[in-house]
Amino acid sequence: MMDLQGTIIDEFTFTNNYDGIASLASRLTMDDRVVMESTGSVWTNLYNHLDDAHIPVVLANPLKTKAIASARIKSDEIDARILAHLLRTDLIPESYVPTKEIREVRALIRHRTSIVKIRTMVKNKVHAIVDKNGLEHDELFSDLFGKAGMQWLGTIRLPSLDRLMLDNHLEHLESLKRQIHAVDQEILAKASRDEDVRLLLSMTGVDIFTALLIRSEIGNISRFPEYKKLISWAGLAPSLHQSGSIEYHGSITKQGSKMLRWVMVEAARVAVNHDEKMRAFYARVKYRRGDQKAIVATASKMLKIIWFMLARREPYLSRNQRRYEEKLNRIEKTIHDGWLRAGLGTLA
């Protein structure tokens, strides 16, 4: 704790749990200001607690806080003092902090992503057991985890230990399926209340999950004064090396929102198969630079279009109208079902 002249008034540690954070908050008033680093998810509980107590919090970007990032001697005590001095002199490079509602959506989206990763891991273990026992199924069905595939997995004869492990994996998959369904219902409900999501759904390759993820990562589009800022923030802009009059553009920076960069690349993979405009752009780049760079370039182009869509409040001009209406109908059905569950009758 430091005054405006840089004199340390108090110095102490606290545990990163509810009791520790409450003890810190009890020492502060709304006239104080708090600065903390944005490091992983550690900052979230502390930030939320202080924000609820109406204590101003500045979230420092650790990559841009050069006095700390480039320091030869580092410790929590030294870093805290440097942050306090930077705060009192208004030299903190701040990180963007979305609204509480957006933070909750981000948490929901990332929770679903983690469940899907676990599901993929379990499916790989099932494939390993099937391959280990030399079992073929291509002529019976194409999807091992479809209805026919799951029935087949439940009846094939295996050594007792492999049968036990496979049954455990199948039970785990059923549990994960229920969890994903429950999360998807919540995602659908949140998407139904967001106008930005409705606009994003007009973009080819963007489904409801993707739209809500993009929305939660971008936040308010007005914080990006031009599309280049958004592309750079997603880490999809090429790196730049300059020496005198010579400029060299390298691979993408990969700095910024990892989630936004990932979902845009996934959306680009879908778009090049269903959108003539994106397919033509992808083909031109692929001819010169190969598949991977062409997909990244397509993702960057799509994000540029998304900036204009959100900034101008306009849907995607080259949209598939039938598919777009199907997505919107899913949202309208969610709203309608929600009214019925609440006993409010039907919507006009």
Which of helix, strand or coil describes residue 5? coil
- Per the CB < 8 A criterion, the answer to whether 152 and 141 are in contact is yes
- Cβ neighbourhood burial of 314 (10 Å; 0-12, 13-18, 19+): exposed
**More confident: 329 or 166:** 166
Distance CA 132, CA 126 (A): 10
Where does the pLDDT of residue 339 fall: very low under 50, low under 70, confident under 90, or very high at 90 and above? very low
Average pLDDT on 118-143 reads: 92
Averaged pLDDT score across all residues of the chain: 87
Residue with tokens 């469940």: 115
Q: Which two tokens stand for residue 330?
A: 């899913």
pLDDT of the residue at 112: 94
Where does the pLDDT of residue 245 fall: very low under 50, low under 70, confident under 90, or very high at 90 and above? low
pLDDT of the residue at 67: 62
Where does the pLDDT of residue 259 fall: very low under 50, low under 70, confident under 90, or very high at 90 and above? very high
Average pLDDT on 218-238 reads: 92
Distance CA 214, CA 198 (A): 12
Average pLDDT on 114-141 reads: 92
**More confident: 311 or 98:** 311
Q: What are phi and psi of 304, to 5 degrees?
A: -60, -45
pLDDT of the residue at 175: 97
Q: Which two tokens stand for residue 175?
A: 């549990």
pLDDT surpassing 90 at residue 44: no
CA contacts within 13 A on the Cβ side of 289: 13
Average pLDDT on 267-285 reads: 95
Which residues does 279 contact at the CB level (< 8 Å), separation at least 6?
A: 271, 272, 273
pLDDT of the residue at 68: 64
Which of helix, strand or coil describes residue 321? helix
Average pLDDT on 16-45 reads: 85
H-type alpha helices, the chain: 18-26, 42-52, 66-69, 76-88, 100-132, 147-155, 160-191, 195-200, 208-218, 227-233, 258-274, 276-289, 291-312, 321-341
pLDDT surpassing 90 at residue 133: yes
Distance CA 171, CA 175 (A): 6
Number of helices (H) and strands (E), helices first, in the chain?
14, 4
**More confident: 59 or 338:** 59
Which of helix, strand or coil describes residue 32? coil
The separation between CA 300 and the C-alpha centre of its own chain, rounded to angstroms, equals 16
Q: Where are the domains of the chain?
A: 18-88, 100-191, 195-324
pLDDT surpassing 70 at residue 255: yes
Torsion of CA 336, 341, 345, 348, to 10 degrees: -10
Which of helix, strand or coil describes residue 1? coil
The winner for highest mean pLDDT among 13-22, 95-104, 210-219, 232-241 is: 210-219
| DSSP class per residue in 62-86 | TTT-HHHHT-SS--HHHHHHHHHHH
Average pLDDT on 291-307 reads: 95
If one counts every other C-beta atom within 10 angstroms of the C-beta of residue 191, the result is 24
- Per the CB < 8 A criterion, the answer to whether 334 and 189 are in contact is yes
Average pLDDT on 9-14 reads: 92
Average pLDDT on 66-95 reads: 81
pLDDT surpassing 60 at residue 126: yes
Where does the pLDDT of residue 229 fall: very low under 50, low under 70, confident under 90, or very high at 90 and above? very high
Q: Which of 108, 92, 159, 95 is nearest to 130 (CA)?
A: 159
pLDDT surpassing 80 at residue 343: no
Which of helix, strand or coil describes residue 239? strand
Q: To the nearest whole percent, how much of the chain has pLDDT over 70? A: 87
**More confident: 69 or 337:** 337
pLDDT of the residue at 251: 66
- Per the CB < 8 A criterion, the answer to whether 211 and 322 are in contact is no
pLDDT of the residue at 342: 44
Distance CA 244, CA 238 (A): 19
- Cβ neighbourhood burial of 97 (10 Å; 0-12, 13-18, 19+): middle
Instruction: Write a three-state SS string for 102-161.
Output: HHHHHHHHHHHHHHHHHHHHHHHHHHHHHHHCCCCCCCCCCCCCCHHHHHHHHHCCCCHH
Average pLDDT on 95-106 reads: 86
